[in-house]
Amino acid sequence: MLQRLIPIAILILFISACISNEPISIGIVSTPVADLPINFDSPPLIQATAISPAIVQEADAEYMLLSNIYERSLLSVVNVEADLSGGTPQNPNVNRGSGFIYDTAGHIITNAHVVQNSTTIRVTFNDGYVTTANLIGLDTYSDIAILQVDTESSRLLPMTLIADSDLIRVGQRAIAIGNPFGLSGSMALGIISGLGRNLRSAELLDADAPVGFQNPSIIQTDTPVNPGNSGGPLLNSEGEVMGVTTAIRSQNGIFQGVGFAVPANTLRRVIPDLIQNGRVQYAWMGISVQPEDNGYSVAGLAEPLNLPVNQGVLLRGVTVGGPADASGLRGGVRTVQVRGQAVCIGGDIIVAINGEYVATMDELVTYLIVNTRPNDRVNLLVVRDQVTFEVSLILRERPTNDATVRDCAG
């Protein structure tokens, strides 16, 4: 009933308005726009407040650590300048690098290639103090040199070597402090990006060198290492020296993501000899092997050659009259093609030395460097065909000239 009355009421109102000439208002209120309370301004800004000091401290913890390492290490890192022969006052021939204090006797570690063939060596401390250094000894194989300065003991703040660089793992933080491009006291940060790399020794940089040995067990890092960093320390998160930055792999001489360092365990092996004798004596077996990279180690050759073991050192040849030859070890006897490359096979396979298994020639050389000296006797576990036996031999010092090798070539 109510629904039928509403249209009638509206009609009555319409007729009444027409008679009275009054405007109709059916529940709608018309108000001028100017009188409306409309605000076209931007919404009020929200004022940010500082987060708690605890959160800031947690976020900055790494930077606090790096700053602390830098401040603790800076006084121990020095700049090294070596005047080389052939220079003039107008055109000096100078090598520049870094170094760090080894002990309170004034010994300083740097790279051999920085000071090799030098006539004068200058060391600049962080506070600008400059003094002349004596070259005590250098080793081109490890690219390590020892200098010595005569200065007050307050300047001699030795750095600490890591307890065992063999325990370093890929992914660890790696911090370099040195003088890249002459910018003293510079810090760079990265990680350990590889281990057990093989680096050409400084001997092999000289085209006239009669004999050159590869340097295994090198640390690889992506920490920026540029000209002037050579010889400086590579540190861990404790501020301990993991190694000595020594070279970069680059097409233009500028860092491109791959740097190298000599590990601390190598320093422990060579530094005492350098301080005492000015040189390092390395043990030598008198063997040669097939280049093992690109899949030509025993592991990569085991299947195509049907070898009796899948790890070890396959002898390509033995040096005539050398320790291995004298002990009866044999090199290869024939050549076969493996994946398009000639391989000398039929030689003995060394699988262990003094009870420690070795998978590659690099591991064997590393063991010899760290654990043996000339005239030491070692016991080898050898596989020949399908027979395993032990061989004892006496190591000698590495030769300084070429020798005849008995292998597939004759």
Mapping DSSP onto H, E and C, the string for 321-360 reads CCHHHHCCCCCCCEEEEECCEEEEECCCEEEEECCEECCC
Instruction: Say how many C-beta atoms besides its own lie within 10 A of residue 398's C-beta.
Output: 17
Contact (CB, 8 A) for 277 and 254: no
Q: Measured at the alpha carbon of residue 316, what is the angle toward residues 364 and 293, in degrees to the nearest 5?
A: 60
Q: Annotated catalytic residue: which of 73, 107, 113, 139?
A: 113
- Residues 383-397, buried b or exposed e (16+ Cβ, 10 A)? bbeeeeeebebebbe
Composition of the chain by helix, strand, coil, percent to 5 = 25, 35, 40
113 is a catalytic site residue: yes
Which whole-number Å values give the CA distances from 359 to 216, 295, 339, 349, 385, in the listed order? Answer: 13, 13, 21, 10, 18
Q: Annotated catalytic residue: which of 230, 297, 325, 362?
A: 230
Give the residue from 242, 206, 246 showing the smallest Cα distance to 226.
Answer: 246
* Residues, the chain: 410
143 is a catalytic site residue: yes
Contact (CB, 8 A) for 316 and 409: no
Q: Which tokens sit at 59? A: 């976020």
Q: Annotated catalytic residue: which of 118, 139, 143, 186?
A: 143
107 is a catalytic site residue: no
Q: Which residues does the annotation mark as catalytic? A: 113, 143, 230
